[in-house]
Amino acid sequence: MAEEKLELRGIDWQETFSFTHVFRSFRLAIHPSKLVLAFVGLALCVIAGFVLDGLWYGGPAIIWEDGQPKEIEVFADKGTSSKDFPTWYKAQAKSREDRLKTLRRKELGLDVDEVSVYSASLAGKLIAVKNEKLQEWLEDNGLDNTRRKLKERYEGQPELLDERWRQAKQEVPKKLLARRREVHIEIESIKDLVGKGPARRGPFRALLRYELGVFDKVVACALGPNLLGGLEMTASEADAGVAVHLWRGLKGLQWLFKQHWVYFIVFGAFCLVVWSVFGGAITRTAALHVARGEKISIKEALKFGLKKFPSFLFAPLIPVAIVVVLVVVVLLGSFALGNWGWGIGEVLVSVLMFLPLIAGFVMALVAVGTVGGLNLMYPTIAVEGSDSFDAISRSFSYVYARPWRMAFYSLVALIYGVLCYLFVRFFAFLVLKMTHMSVGALIFRPGAGSYGLTNKFTSMWPAPELFGSLHKFDWAACQGAQTFGAFVIFLWVCVIIGFVAAFLVSFFFSANTVIYYLLRNRVDSTDMDDVYVEEEPEEQTPPVAQEPAEGGEAEKPKAKKPKPEEKADEPPEQEESSEGE
């Protein structure tokens, strides 16, 4: 018998290596409907944060340094376990108060507390004085006054006058622009000293600046790759990896809760409501896209998000509420029993210690399940069409049933997401760079604020940088209408950058939806194409009208002939029974 040969025609990589399904997340994330939903959700949160910053006068002032929230960085290093951070904050606040008083006395001539040190009015007055003095200095040292002074000094020496004038025309514009930039930095330092309210140094702006810095470090470490560096006690901050920087990012949220807890609750509640609708809509779109290749509209996605809004809203809140309730019960129990005298409290607490231990065990289970399965709650509701309790149950069970597989899928999604983000960011840079080159190629008119050193378009919008900031603007080089134009261009550039951020949000929800499908397949042996689909009620077709007859009139129904009336004396006919005969 001849030996049979087996020919390998192909390998189903997604069936062989299930984690390759995660690589579908990029195609899912760049779908226009998901990007638009993510962009609108981000825009609502950012606008709410800036508005709330402008209205927020309460709470302590935030310590800034060189335009960066130094306070959050120190908080992430020192934490609240000791008195290091409160001591540092008090020293910094006292130093800034003294500097503000010095500026108030020097610039405004106020020696008494006519204006509160940390008030917005003080910042406004100081900035107004700086701008007035700047305008006076620019007029005194402008080209016109420089020409007049040179004529007076070199009267009768025309050759030397021409030479000095040629030098002045090159040096004076640079000098004027440099002075404008110096004053701009001084004004920003005044806002740093005030650190709150309309000085544009509110909690949201501080947290946003800090988290963006942490995000850049996470991306750099993921490309390293440096995932677990810095976990040793002797490691320096330079050795920190992805895990350490993610922990420092959570420290920023802890800072907001610790220092501005009312702000945290108000802003956090608004963001939770926003993402309960838009995050649910994105996840639902991704769920149908993965399972059936179906692309639903934004309207349908939002309809599902609004329908399941309570489930999306309470899914992450219920585990937190459980932990809080258990903590309160343990605290009340220890207070009620532990404060008894004559040795009774000690005995009761020690004998009943098993109850707090049980509560601690439950709290630990809920905490670990929530942290590990939080990203699976929204996909559960979107895929199964279920409620908050089912989302919590499934996410907890999948995390505890396949913890290492969950960690591996998350790691693959993180590294792949970083690579996709770099590509999208590079594409956004190309969009901005080509736009900048094509629009500014034929504009030669000099800028007013740059004093002819650059054209007016470059003054309004400097060229974007590949490895730097995509929205870098030189506000000191703008003046008059150019300032307004620079602001409008800044908004358009922010739209492009906003879609880059929207891609990250869309990728997060899409990747976690894929991970949920994979874990469900492993744990419950459910097919990847199994997804909840809303059944629409069947429409009943109305009865079809009868066509008219050939003569033009519809055929009328024939009337029934009346039956002859039965006589009263005749009994009614009885039906013969087949059983009786």
SS3 letters for 306-369? Answer: HHCHHHHHHCCHHHHHHHHHHHHHHHHHHHHHHCCCCCHHHHHHHHCCHHHHHHHHHHHHHHHH
Buried-state track 53-83, b at ≥16 Cβ within 10 A, e below 16: beebeeeebbbbeeeebbbbbbbbebeeeee
pLDDT score for 325: 93
248 and 221 in contact (C-beta within 8 Å)?
no
Last residue of a domain, one of 524, 549, 576: 524
H helix runs in 70-202, sequence order: 70-78, 84-103, 120-140, 143-153, 158-194
* Higher-scoring residue by pLDDT: 48, 231: 48
Q: Is residue 121 part of a domain?
A: yes
Average pLDDT, stretch 390-414? 91
Q: Give per-residue burial for 337-369: e unless 16+ CB within 10 Å, then b.
A: beeeeeeeeeebbeeeeeebeebeeebeebeeb
336 in any annotated domain = no
Q: How many residues does the chain have?
A: 581
Q: How many CB atoms lie within 10 A of CB 462?
A: 17
No. of helices (H) and no. of strands (E), the chain: 20, 0
What integer pLDDT is reported at residue 544 of this predicted model?
A: 53
Considering the domain boundaries, does residue 501 fall inside one?
yes
Q: Determine what percent of the chain is predicted with pLDDT higher than 70.
A: 83
What count of Cα atoms within 13 Å lies in the side-chain half-sphere of residue 383?
32
Tell me the C-alpha distance between 287 and 374, whole Å. Answer: 17
Structural domain for 117, as ranges: 70-199
Region 219-224: what's the mean pLDDT? 80
SS3 446: strand
> Distance of CA 385 to CAs 186, 304, 391, 533, 564, Å?
56, 9, 10, 8, 65
Residue 395: its pLDDT value, please? 92
- The answer as to whether 231 is a domain residue is no
Tokens 């605290």 sit on residue: 331
Structure tokens at 541: 């077709």
Q: Is 175 exposed, middle or buried (CB count within 10 Å of its CB: 0-12, 13-18, 19+)?
A: middle
pLDDT of residue 36: 96
Predicted local confidence at residue 82, as pLDDT: 63
Strands (DSSP E) along 426-497, which ranges?
Answer: none
- pLDDT range class, residue 568, cuts 50, 70, 90: very low
Dist CA 452 CA 458 (whole Å):
11
Domain boundary pick from 176, 199, 222: 199
Contact partners, residue 266, CB within 8 Å, separation at least 6: 52
Q: What is the pLDDT of residue 139?
A: 87
Mean pLDDT of 155-171: 85
* Look-up of token digits 């020097």: 106
Q: Is 504 a member of any domain?
A: yes
pLDDT value at 247 more than 80: yes
pLDDT at 489 over 80: yes
**What are the CA-CA distances from residue 307 to residues 92, 365, 531 (Å)?**
49, 30, 17
Whether 282 and 38 have beta carbons less than 8 Å apart is answered as: yes
> What confidence score (pLDDT) does residue 273 get?
96
Q: Give the pLDDT band of residue 2 (cuts 50, 70, 90).
A: low
Q: Which amino acid is at 452?
A: G
Q: Determine the Cα–Cα distance for residues 281 and 308; give it in Å rounded to an integer.
A: 9
Q: What pLDDT is attached to residue 569?
A: 45
CA 24 to chain centre: 22
Q: Are 348 and 340 within 8 A, CB to CB?
A: yes
Q: Per the domain annotation, does 95 fall within a domain?
A: yes
Whether the pLDDT of residue 540 is over 50: the answer is yes
pLDDT, mean over the chain: 82
* 67 contact partners, CB below 8 Å, separation of at least 6: 188, 192, 209
Paired tokens of 66: 């060189």
Lowest mean pLDDT, pick from 31-45, 145-159, 567-581:
567-581
Q: Nearest-5° angle of CA 410, CA 411, CA 415?
A: 120
> Is residue 302 pLDDT above 70, yes or no?
yes
At residue 347, does pLDDT exceed 50?
A: yes
What is the C-alpha separation between 122 and 104, in angstroms, rounded?
8
Residue in the structure block whose two tokens are 């996840």: 283
- Whether residue 554 lies inside any domain: the answer is no
Distance from the first to the final alpha carbon of the chain? 83
- The per-residue pLDDT for range 114-140, each reduced to its tens digit, is 555 556 677 778 888 888 888 888 888
Percent of the chain clearing pLDDT 90 (strictly above):
34
* Total domains present in the chain: 2
- Would you say the pTM of this structure is higher than 0.75? yes
Reduced to 3 states, what is the DSSP secondary structure of residue 51?
A: helix
Q: pLDDT digit string (tens) for 350-379?
A: 888 888 899 999 999 999 999 989 999 999
Q: Which residues contact 440 (CB under 8 A, 6 or more apart)?
A: 455, 457, 458, 461
Q: Give the pLDDT band (50/70/90) at residue 340.
A: confident
DSSP conformational letter for 561: P
The two three-digit tokens of residue 64, written as one number: 């800034």
257 in a structural domain: no
Q: Which of 151, 168, 199 is the last residue of a domain?
A: 199
Q: Map residue 527 onto helix, strand or coil.
A: coil
